[in-house]
Amino acid sequence: MQRYSAFSLLREGLSGHRGWRPAWTKAKPKSAYDAVIVGGGGHGLATAYYLAENHGLTRVAVLERGWIGGGNTGRNTTAVRSNYFYPESVALYDLSLRLYEGLSKELNYNVMLSQRGMLIAAHTPAQMEICARIANAMQINGVDGRLMSADEAQRRIPLLNQTEGARFKCLGGVWQGRAGVARHDAVAWGYARAASALGVDIIENCTVKDLTIEAGQITGVETNLGPIRTNRVGLAAAGATPGLAAMAGVRLPIHTYALQAFVSEPVKPILDTVLLYLGTGTYVSQSDKGELVFGGGLDRVPTHGQKGNLPAQETVISGLLEMFPAFAQLKLLRQWAGVVDVVPDSSPVIGPVGPAGLFVNCGWGTGGFKAIPAGGWLLSHLMATGEHHEISRPFDLDRFEHGRLIDEAAGSGIAH
């Protein structure tokens, strides 16, 4: 892999940048692989990377129907955090955050992890009690969480609306210092580059038309570029996963919704943390370019169309202005939507499904970006060993039969 560094930039700068090589090889499909991953987003690419890096499996293909990182990986508000309530969730998301913390160096690709901290802001004594419940759960589970006072919140976020007329004054909330944001595209590209360097084939514009199953065992996939033989298939395709799983006769507990994200025109630094406001349901951070990046709840109509809708835009934006009246000076620059795969308990589904050799990593809903390293780590473990990693075990599909849902919104009273 071509080494990226300040030195290589200098060298290339002097020679007109003629020496940069493709970040990842544009592969054509071979006839057979040891493992095939469907979905070239962050989760799929990370799975391929860890299959090669952790498990030595390099005859691996990632099939992407469009361009890599073009789904929810490139359509989110880039927050990373592990401020969760249930131990199972904390184990999962903190694995992810720990991997993120070393990711730029590991991949030799700057994913711009900015751990500027995140506040979940509460507005009533009852919400503060719930925040205490979460902060305590985080501390017991060994994660850096604490309760933040209203004064400290105001100090860190001076533009917050704390006037008498505010609909939702901030009484404080849960703070996680290690939370923050990362550059979403860089995560996909970084994993793609590292996986490609290890021999993984990344195949773009490749649509899976069917799964081939013989005697209860996956034997291959049919694609628009021809058939591919393999006895291990991992599905990591977010909102497209139900359709892929249906090819193997598997029904998943998933509804698909559009989740919108918004970007304002760039301004000089005004907000130095990630903020989730319980009252409005709006969350916001400021990007390194100076744009405010914000979002809110799901659109109310299940859909597969990557298109936002006006009522949700009005709600999210009025919520943002209620939190920060000064932001009404700014203009909306961009807005987009991703199709998210929502599970009843809003926790992911990771595990084997249907025929032998078929695995899924889906159901991340609105929170898949922060889980990319862990999702890849755990799915690669499953695909390489056929067994759950202890962290992914609770997230198996069988939890719905057992009635053992991992419902953060239910457990903590706060929807993530």
Partner 1 sequence: MQIFPCPFCGPRDETEFLFAAEAGKTRPEPAPDVSDAVWADYLYGNDAPKGTAREVWVHLTCGEFFVMTRDTTTREVKSCAALPGKAS
Partner 2 sequence: MSGWRHPELGDVDRRKPVWFTFDGQPLSGFAGDTLASALLAGGPRILGRSFKYHRPRGLWGLGGEEPNAILDVTFDGKTTPNVRATTEKLRNGMVLQSVNAAPDAARDRFGLLDLAHRFLPAGFYYKTFMALGWMRWEPLIREMAGLGKLDATHHPPADTPVMNAACDLLVIGAGPAGLAAAAAAARNGRQVWLVDEARAVGGSLRWRGGEIDGAPWTDFAATTCNAVKAAGGRILTDTVLWGAFDHGSYAAWQRREDQTNVHWRIRAQNVVLAAGAIERPLWFANNDLPGIMSCEAALHHLVLYGAVAGRRIVIGCAGDAPYAVAAALAKAGCQVTLVDARKDTPPAPDGMRIIRGAKITRAHGHREVGAVTVDGTHLDCDTVLVSGGFTPSVHLHCQAGGKLDLDKASDSLIPRAGTSPIRTVGAANGAFGLAAALEQGHAAGSGAAPAPRAVDRGWALDPIRPDPGIKGRVWIDPQNDVTLKDVRIAAQEGYQSVEHLKRYTTLGMATDQGRNANFAGLAAMAVLTDRTIAETGTTTYRPPFTPVPLSVIGGMRRGEAFSPPKRLALEPQHRTCGAKFREYGGWLRPAYYGEDEATAQQDEARTARQAAGLYDASPLGKIEVIGPGAAELLDFCGYVRMSTLKPGRARYGFMLSEAGIVHDDGVVLRLAEDRFIVSASSSHVGSVRLILEEARQDRFDPSRVFLHDVTAHWATLTVSGPLARAILADAGFSVPDIPHMSVAETRWKDIPFRIARVSFTGDASWELSVPARYGGELHAVLDAAGTAHGARWIGLEALMLLRAEKGYVLIGKDTDGVTMPHDLGWGGPRASRQDEYFGRRSLFTPEANRNDRRQLVGLQSTNVPLPTGAHILAPGDTRRSLGFVTSSYYSPTLDRAIALAMINGGRSLVGQDVTVFNLGETYLARVTDACAYDPKGERLHG
Region 63-122 residues binding partner 2, contact defined as CB under 8 A = 66-67, 69-70, 74, 87, 104-105, 108-110, 112-116
Distances (CA, A) of 132 to 121, 173, 309: 12, 8, 35
Site for partner 2 in 24-53 (CB under 8 A): 24-26
The 3-state DSSP class for residue 396 equals coil
Stretch that binds partner 2, among 91-99, 183-191, 243-251, 348-356 (CB under 8 A): 183-191
Interface residue with partner 1 among 9, 225, 246, 326 (CB under 8 A) is 246
The reply to whether 18 sits near partner 1 by the rule CB under 8 A is: no
The reply to whether 185 sits near partner 2 by the rule CB under 8 A is: yes
Interface residue with partner 2 among 144, 152, 222, 407 (CB under 8 A) is 407
The span from the CA of 208 to the CA of 64, in Å, is 9
The span from the CA of 36 to the CA of 38, in Å, is 6
End-to-end distance of the chain based on CA atoms, in angstroms? 38
The reply to whether 400 sits near partner 1 by the rule CB under 8 A is: yes
The alpha-carbon radius of gyration of the chain (Å, integer) is 21
The span from the CA of 251 to the CA of 233, in Å, is 17
Residue 180 φ/ψ, nearest 5 degrees: 170, -145
Nearer to partner 2 among residue 140 and residue 356 (C-beta)? 140
The span from the CA of 10 to the CA of 376, in Å, is 33
Of partner 1, partner 2, none, which one sits near residue 356, judging by CB under 5 to 8 A according to partner kind? none
Site for partner 1 in 314-353 (CB under 8 A): 341, 344
Of partner 2, partner 1, none, which one sits near residue 181, judging by CB under 5 to 8 A according to partner kind? none
> Which tokens in the block code for residue 120?
């979940």
The reply to whether 409 sits near partner 1 by the rule CB under 8 A is: no
Nearer to partner 1 among residue 162 and residue 303 (C-beta)? 303
Surface-to-core class of residue 237, CB atoms within 10 Å of its CB (0-12 exposed, 13-18 middle, 19+ buried): buried
Q: Report, in Å, the least distance between residue 404 CB and partner 2.
A: 4
Of partner 2, partner 1, none, which one sits near residue 378, judging by CB under 5 to 8 A according to partner kind? none
Stretch that binds partner 1, among 19-27, 63-71, 298-306, 372-380 (CB under 8 A): 298-306
Site for partner 1 in 224-243 (CB under 8 A): 239-240, 242-243
> Which tokens in the block code for residue 126?
């009852």
| ∠ Cα 211 209 246 (to 5°) | 55
The span from the CA of 174 to the CA of 134, in Å, is 7
Of partner 1, partner 2, none, which one sits near residue 330, judging by CB under 5 to 8 A according to partner kind? partner 2
Site for partner 2 in 270-299 (CB under 8 A): 270, 279-280, 286, 288-290
